[in-house]
C-alpha cells in the first residue's frame, strides 16, 4: 500500500495544482483566499479535509475519484475553499455538528452550482439542482444558517439525510473542531471573506451570479457576538456580603482560636467584590415594526441570561422603558419577583413611529434626578429604523436587532450593534 501511495503522490500533486490554476483563471476574485490554503498529501485517509490552513488529501483516493470524474479535484478544492470563506468551520462547535455539517455542504454546493463554473460539473449536479429548487421554495436563499434553522425547526428523516449526503457531500469535517494551534485564525479568514465579497462585486458582469454565495459571504462577514458575554458589559463591581474563601486561610484562623481562646490570628474577609447586574436600562422599541412575540422572546431570554448564576443583587434598579416616537411607559424593577411579574402580566404599549432620542433624553433626566448611583448601560431592542441621538451618552449602549438576513442598520460609532437570530438568542 505504501508503494502505491508513493507512486500516486506526484501525479496527485499535479492534479491539485491544475485544479488550483483552473480556479485562478476562472475566478480571479478568489486569488487571495486560494493562496491561504496549502494542499498536503495524507496517507490512507480516503478523504479530503481542511484545518483552515491546509487541504489534506489522500493521493490514491484523489486519483481514483479523478479517473471517475475529471472535474472532481477542482470541485473538491472549491467546495473546501467556500467552506472557509463562508466561515462554516468556525461555528461547528457551537451548533449541532451533524446538522450544521450537512447544512454547510448544501449551502456550499448551492453557491457553486449557481456560478456555473467551466469544468466543474459533476454527474450528480442535475439531481442536486432539482433538489435545491425544492428547498428554495421552503427556505429562500440557501445559506448554511437558514438551512440549519429550517432543519432544526422541522427535523429531517434518515432517508432525507441520506439523499442529501449523496447529492452534496464532498469533504470530511473532522478537522473543524477547535484546535489548540490554528495557523490561520477565524479573524484572518473573516478578512479574507471580506476581500472575496468586495472582489465579487467588481467581477465581470458577464459571469454568472450566485445569490447563495453573496448571502453566505454576508453571513461570514457579519459581526458575531455571544449575547451572554456582551451582557457582562452591563455588570458593575459592587460589595456583596460573603466570606471570600479564596483570600481566607482557615489554618491560621483556627490555630489562633485553639492557641489564644477567642482570638483568631486572621479575621475572615466578610466582603467580596462580585460582578452582578445592579443598575441598567432596557429600552423596548414598541413601534409597529417591532412588537409581539419578538419583544417577548427578547425579554424572556435576556431575563434568563441575567438570572443565571445569581446575576442579580438582592436590591437592584432596572428600568424597562417602552418607547415608539415618545416614551410610553417606564417600569422600575427592584427585585426578581417584580421582573417576573412584568414578563407575565405587562402589556406592551405604543406602536407608533420610531425615534430613539426620547429614551436617551428621559434617561438623562433620571440621572439628573439621582435615580441611578452607577448606571452602567442601556440595552435597546429595536428593528433599528429610527432617529439616533447625535451625542454620546455617559454610559454604554447596545442596540440589539433581530437578524433579518442582512447586516442590519448602521448605528452611531459609540454604540455596540448586535444581530440576534433564534440561535443567537438561545
Q: Is 394 exposed, middle or buried (0-12, 13-18, 19+ CB in 10 A)?
A: exposed
Question: CB under 8 Å to 247, separation ≥6 — which residues?
Answer: 269
Q: Give the confidence band of 62 by pLDDT, cuts at 50, 70, 90.
A: very high
Q: Give the residue-averaged pLDDT of 311-326.
A: 77
- Is 33 contained in some domain? yes
Q: Are residues 163 and 290 in the same domain?
A: no
- Selection from 154-158, 207-211, 274-278, 374-378 with the highest mean pLDDT: 154-158
Distance between CA atoms of residues 200 and 27, nearest Å:
9
Say if residue 181 is in the same domain as residue 46. Answer: yes
Q: Using alpha carbons only, what angle is made at residue 230 by residues 353 and 275, rounded to the nearest 5 degrees?
A: 120
Q: Are residues 71 and 118 in the same domain?
A: yes
The pLDDT, as a whole number, for residue 338 is 83
Q: Would you state the pLDDT for residue 221? A: 46
34-48, 63-77, 127-141, 332-346 — which is least confidently predicted? Answer: 332-346
CA distance 2 to 313: 66
Distance, in Å, from the CA atom of 155 to the CA atom of 12, rounded to the nearest integer, reads: 40
Shared domain for 216 and 288, answered yes or no, is no
Q: How do residues 256-313 score in pLDDT, each as one tens digit?
A: 666 666 655 555 555 455 555 578 888 988 876 555 667 777 777 777 666 665 555 5
Boundaries of domain holding 409: 228-238+277-425
Per-residue pLDDT band at 204 (split at 50, 70, 90): very low
Looking at the fold, whether 156 and 297 belong to one and the same domain comes out as no
Four-point Cα dihedral 224, 229, 230, 232, nearest 10 = -170
Question: What's the confidence (pLDDT) of residue 100?
Answer: 92
Q: Give me 140's grid cell.
A: 429562500
Angle at 170 between CA 205 and CA 148, to 5 degrees: 80
| pLDDT at residue 73 tops 90 | yes
Tell me, yes or no, whether 421 lies in a domain.
Answer: yes
Within-domain flag for 92: yes
C-alpha cell at 382: 429595536
Question: Is the predicted pLDDT of residue 418 greater than 50, yes or no?
Answer: yes
Give me the mean pLDDT over the 201-212 stretch. Answer: 51
CB-CB contact of 410 with 212 (8 Å): no
Q: How many domains does the chain have?
A: 2
**Do 290 and 211 reside in the same domain of the chain?**
no
Query: Which has more pLDDT, 350 or 397?
Result: 397
The percent of residues above 90 in pLDDT, for the chain, comes to: 25
CATH of the domain at 286: 3.40.50.410
The pLDDT assigned to 106 comes to 95
Q: Is 79 within 8 Å of 167 (Cβ atoms)?
A: no
Residue 53 carries which DSSP code?
A: S
Pick from 33-42, 146-155, 245-254, 319-328: least confident: 245-254
Determine the Cα–Cα distance for residues 401 and 409; give it in Å rounded to an integer: 9
97 shares a domain with 203: yes
CA distance 95 to 93: 6
**pLDDT: is 376 or 98 the higher one?**
98
Write down the pLDDT at residue 180. Answer: 44
The pLDDT assigned to 285 comes to 86
Look at residues 189, 2, 177 and name the one whose alpha carbon lies nearest to residue 94: 177
User: Which residues make beta-bridge pairs with 380?
Assistant: 283, 399
Q: Which residues pair with 330 in a beta bridge?
A: 321
> How far is CA 256 from each of CA 247, 269, 270, 310, 381, rounded to the nearest angstrom?
17, 16, 18, 34, 56
What gap in Å lies between CA 417 and CA 293, rounded to an integer? Answer: 21
Cα–Cα distance for residue pair 24/27, rounded to 1 Å: 5
Exposure of 111 in the CB half-sphere (CA atoms within 13 A): 24
Mean pLDDT is lowest, of 206-220, 270-284, 354-368, for 206-220
Q: How far is CA 66 from the centre of its chain?
A: 36
Asked if 189 contacts 85 with a C-beta cutoff of 8 angstroms, the reply is yes
For range 226-244, the mean pLDDT: 55
Residues 176 and 293 in one domain: no
pLDDT confidence tier of residue 1, bands split at 50, 70 and 90: low
Pick from 221, 256, 291: which residue ends a domain? 221
Which of the listed residues 193, 221, 249 is the one where a domain comes to its end? 221
The verdict on 202 and 336 lying in the same domain is no
Q: CB–CB of 113/129 below 8 Å?
A: yes
Residue 247 inside a domain? The answer is no
Beta-strand runs (E) in 220-265: 236-241
- Which range has the worst mean pLDDT, 57-61, 213-217, 367-371? 213-217
Per-residue pLDDT for 197 more than 90?
Answer: no
Based on the domain organization, do 234 and 184 belong to the same domain? no
Q: Say which range, 32-46, 158-172, 193-207, 354-368, has the weakest mean pLDDT.
A: 193-207
Q: Which residues contact 350 (CB under 8 A, 6 or more apart)?
A: 286, 287, 291, 322, 323, 324, 328
Q: Is residue 252 part of a domain?
A: no
Task: Judge whether residue 358 has pLDDT over 70.
Answer: yes
pLDDT score, position 425:
39
Q: Is residue 346 part of a domain?
A: yes
Mean of pLDDT values over 337-353: 75
pLDDT of residue 205: 45
Same domain flag for 216 and 232: no
Interatomic CA distance for residues 40 and 16, integer angstroms: 10
253 within domain boundaries: no
Q: How far is CA 26 from the centre of its chain?
A: 31
* Domain identity same for 126 and 234: no
- HSE-CB at 195 with a 13 A cutoff on CA atoms is 17
Beta strands 271-285; 236-241: pairing state: antiparallel
> 186, 221, 256 — which closes off a domain?
221
Which residues are 48's β-sheet partners? 57
**Is a pLDDT exceeding 60 seen at residue 252?**
no
CB-based contact 297:395 (threshold 8 Å): no
| Mean of the per-residue pLDDT values of the chain | 77
Amino acid at each position: 500500500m505504501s508503494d502505491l501511495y508513493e507512486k500516486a503522490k506526484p501525479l496527485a500533486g499535479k492534479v491539485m495544482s491544475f485544479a488550483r490554476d483552473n480556479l485562478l483563471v476562472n475566478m480571479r476574485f478568489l486569488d487571495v483566499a486560494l493562496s491561504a490554503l496549502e494542499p498536503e498529501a495524507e496517507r490512507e485517509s480516503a478523504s479530503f479535509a481542511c484545518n483552515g490552513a491546509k487541504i489534506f488529501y489522500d493521493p490514491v483516493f484523489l486519483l481514483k475519484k479523478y479517473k471517475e470524474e475529471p472535474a472532481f479535484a477542482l470541485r473538491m478544492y472549491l467546495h473546501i475553499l467556500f467552506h472557509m470563506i463562508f466561515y462554516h468551520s468556525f461555528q461547528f462547535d457551537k451548533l449541532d455538528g451533524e446538522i450544521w455539517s450537512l447544512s454547510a455542504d448544501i449551502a456550499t454546493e448551492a453557491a457553486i452550482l449557481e456560478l456555473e463554473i467551466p469544468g466543474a460539473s459533476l454527474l450528480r449536479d442535475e439531481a442536486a439542482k432539482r433538489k435545491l429548487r425544492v428547498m428554495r421554495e421552503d427556505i429562500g436563499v440557501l445559506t448554511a444558517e437558514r438551512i440549519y434553522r429550517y432543519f432544526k425547526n422541522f427535523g429531517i428523516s434518515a432517508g432525507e439525510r441520506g439523499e442529501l449526503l449523496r447529492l452534496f457531500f464532498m469533504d470530511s469535517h473532522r478537522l473543524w473542531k477547535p484546535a489548540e494551534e490554528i495557523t490561520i485564525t477565524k479573524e484572518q479568514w473573516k478578512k479574507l471573506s471580506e476581500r472575496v465579497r468586495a472582489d465579487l462585486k467588481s467581477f465581470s458582469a458577464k459571469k454568472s451570479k450566485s445569490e447563495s454565495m453573496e448571502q453566505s459571504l454576508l453571513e461570514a462577514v457579519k459581526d458575531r457576538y455571544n449575547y451572554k458575554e456582551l451582557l457582562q458589559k452591563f455588570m458593575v463591581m459592587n460589595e456583596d456580603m460573603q466570606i471570600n474563601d479564596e483570600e481566607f486561610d482557615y489554618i491560621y484562623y483556627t490555630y489562633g482560636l485553639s492557641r489564644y481562646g477567642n482570638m483568631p490570628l486572621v479575621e475572615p474577609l466578610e466582603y467580596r467584590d462580585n460582578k452582578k447586574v445592579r443598575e441598567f436600562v432596557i429600552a423596548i422599541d414598541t413601534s409597529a415594526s417591532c412588537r409581539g412575540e419578538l419583544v417577548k422572546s427578547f425579554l424572556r431570554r435576556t431575563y434568563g441570561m441575567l438570572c443565571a448564576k445569581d446575576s442579580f443583587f438582592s436590591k437592584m434598579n432596572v428600568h424597562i422603558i417602552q418607547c415608539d416616537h415618545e416614551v410610553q411607559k417606564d417600569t422600575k424593577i427592584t427585585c426578581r419577583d417584580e421582573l417576573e411579574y412584568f414578563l407575565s402580566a405587562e402589556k406592551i404599549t405604543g406602536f407608533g413611529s420610531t425615534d430613539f432620542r426620547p429614551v436617551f433624553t428621559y434617561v438623562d433626566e433620571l440621572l439628573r434626578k439621582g435615580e441611578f448611583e452607577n448606571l452602567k448601560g442601556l440595552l435597546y431592542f429595536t428593528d433599528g429604523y429610527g432617529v439616533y441621538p447625535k451625542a454620546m451618552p455617559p454610559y454604554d449602549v447596545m442596540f440589539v436587532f433581530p437578524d433579518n438576513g442582512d447586516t442590519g442598520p448602521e448605528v452611531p460609532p459609540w454604540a455596540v450593534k448586535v444581530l440576534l437570530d433564534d440561535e443567537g438568542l438561545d
